[in-house]
Amino acid sequence: MPATDASLMPPPSRTMNFNAGPAALPLAVLEACRDELVDFGNTGMSIMEHSHRGAAYEAVHHDAIARLRSLMSIPDGTGTGGYDILFMQGGASQQFAQVAMNLLSPGASAGYIVSGVWGEKAVSEARAVASQSGATVHVACTTASSTPGAPSEASLNPGRWGGDAKYVRVPDAEEVALAPTDAYVHLTTNETIDGVQYATAPGAIFPSFGTVPVVGDMSSDIAWRPIDVRQFGLIYAGAQKNLGPSGVTVVIIRRDLVEAGRTDIPVIFQYRTASRNTSLYNTPPTFSIYLMRQVLAWIGNLGGLEAVEARNRAKASAIYRVIDAFPEFYRCPVAVDSRSMMNIVFRLPTPALEEAFVASSEAHGMVGLRGHRSVGGIRASLYNAVEPAWADALAQLMHDTATRHA
């Protein structure tokens, strides 16, 4: 357990923010943004007032791309050996449709792996696209609790801990049934509502499926640690969890897939449009990109993704350690090797105790700990900008609460 140590506490004016997204941003980034908000770089204008065709903004824009490429070691070759970094709008929810619009030609199919609520949504939107384009979308694997798989721990104690959770694990590659026509296989690397994440062990890799490109919704765990991007054909992520504010979506796409994308959909939805125009085809969300650039610089200053990984693991360990130390009081329904490092979901024995815990957390200067309304319970989101001291303070509160009820 962390000691009660005043040095771990944030300055009293700062709220400990465990929101699931939009989420905490680095204080240093916010302060720097404030200081230049009215006058960016002595131009006599805010960054928001600069033209996206002007030198001041373009330098920010291209630097954001370069920093993301460097941090994530994104290959810059041609064809299958390189990836474009695109800044789009509409969040992951729009990418659910846009991926299928680009990559599903008539007669083609795609397989979806569903390990949580966001995976369900991705399938549903891709199906709407496929039905209009003469393509097919199928669920290649689901870990929903009605299918074979490990029983959730909560099912051992029905009536406590809020009953069964629907999704409690990620599947192995062998459980996934692709079709020969599949143009890609889609998975959600981290499920924010269910607290289920792929490849969390140190150095773990993602499931692979021969030459079929993997499309990953990485909205809630992009850049939480170094990964080999070449395991994916396409990665997309709303920025508002690990990279910045809401309003910008990052797409990292292998260059052969850009070129293979459909040409008969509206230009605005084609990845090649953003690719050929360096995401400056139309007016981008300039402020969101500016702030994301600042967050990327902050990650670099921390020491890059290796340092971020250590920081994130320490935060998650502090919470899971308390959960495991009090098995009669806290229960995380997720299989141990699928436990998310980003969104830790857990239950207390009764809804009343959960309500009391949320109230207590707020009294201690914490926000965002109520679980998603569709599943209840508690959820602590520990994205990159969440301070380790906040996780320690939460662990301490959990420890004290459990001890009081022992």
Using the rule CB under 8 A, is 162 a contact of its own copies? Answer: no
Is residue 364 near its own copies by the rule CB under 8 A?
no
Minimal distance in Å, beta carbon 351 to its own copies?
19
Q: Which stretch binds its own copies (CB under 8 A): 19-27, 61-69, 75-83, 331-339?
A: 19-27
Inter-CA distances, 327 with 72, 321, 348, 402, Å: 37, 10, 10, 10
224 carries an active-site annotation: no
| Near its own copies by CB under 8 A: residue from 61, 72, 91, 332 | 91
Q: How far is CA 271 from CA 29, 57, 129, in A?
A: 30, 22, 16
Restricting to residues 108-127, which ones interact with its own copies according to CB under 8 A?
A: 124-125
Catalytic-role residue among 221, 241, 315, 390: 241
Positions 129 through 148 that interact with its own copies (CB under 8 A): 129, 131-133
**β-sheet bridge partners, residue 83:** 254
Q: Is 181 in the site for its own copies (CB under 8 A)?
A: no
Nearer to its own copies, 57 or 330 (CB): 57
Residue at 76: amino acid letter = D
Q: Is 241 designated active site?
A: yes
* CB contact at 8 A, 397 and 405: no
The secondary structure of residue 370, as a DSSP letter, is: B
- For its own copies, the binding residue among 44, 158, 159, 210 (CB under 8 A) is 44
Rounded CA-CA distance 317/152 in Å is 21
For its own copies, the closer of residues 242 and 288 by Cβ is 288
Closest to its own copies by CB, 126 or 308: 126
Q: Which of 4, 5, 41, 51 binds its own copies (CB under 8 A)?
A: 51
Minimum CB distance to its own copies smaller for 99 or for 223: 99
Q: Which of 205, 251, 247, 262 is nearest to 228 (CA)?
A: 205
Shortest distance (Å) from residue 274 CB to its own copies: 11
Q: Is 218 in the site for its own copies (CB under 8 A)?
A: no
**Which of the residues 84, 118, 221, 298 is marked catalytic?**
118
Interaction with its own copies in 273-312: which residues (CB under 8 A)? 281-288, 291
Please give the structure tokens belonging to residue 347: 């239950």
DSSP string, 178-224: --TTEEEEEEESEETTTTEES--STT------TTSPEEEE-TTTTTS
Stretch of 44-52, 184-192, 202-210, 337-345 contacting its own copies, by CB under 8 A: 44-52
* Structural contact between residues 169 and 115, judged by C-beta atoms closer than 8 angstroms: yes
Task: Decide: is 59 part of the binding site for its own copies (CB under 8 A).
Answer: no
* List of residues 6+ apart from 34 with CB closer than 8 A: none
Rg (CA), the chain: 22
Active site residue 35: no
Asked whether position 365 contacts its own copies by CB under 8 A, the answer is: yes
Q: Helix, strand, or coil here: 65?
A: helix
| Residue 173 or 268 having the CB closest to its own copies | 268
Distances (CA, A) of 188 to 46, 114, 314: 37, 7, 23
| Per CB under 8 A, 355 contacts its own copies | no
- Helix and strand totals (H; E) in the chain: 10, 13
Residue 268 as a binder of its own copies (CB under 8 A): the answer is: yes
Give the pairing type, strands 214-217 and 234-238: parallel
196-204, 228-236, 263-271, 348-356 -> range binding its own copies (CB under 8 A) = 263-271
The CA distance from 375 to 368, in Å, is 15
* Beta pairing partners, 334: none
**269 sits near its own copies (criterion: CB under 8 A):** yes
What positions carry a catalytic annotation?
Answer: 118, 217, 241
Q: Note the residues at the interface with its own copies (CB under 8 A).
A: 13-15, 17, 19-25, 27, 30-31, 33-34, 37-39, 43-46, 48-52, 54, 57, 89-94, 96-97, 124-125, 128-129, 131-133, 238, 240, 245-248, 264-269, 281-288, 291, 365, 367-368
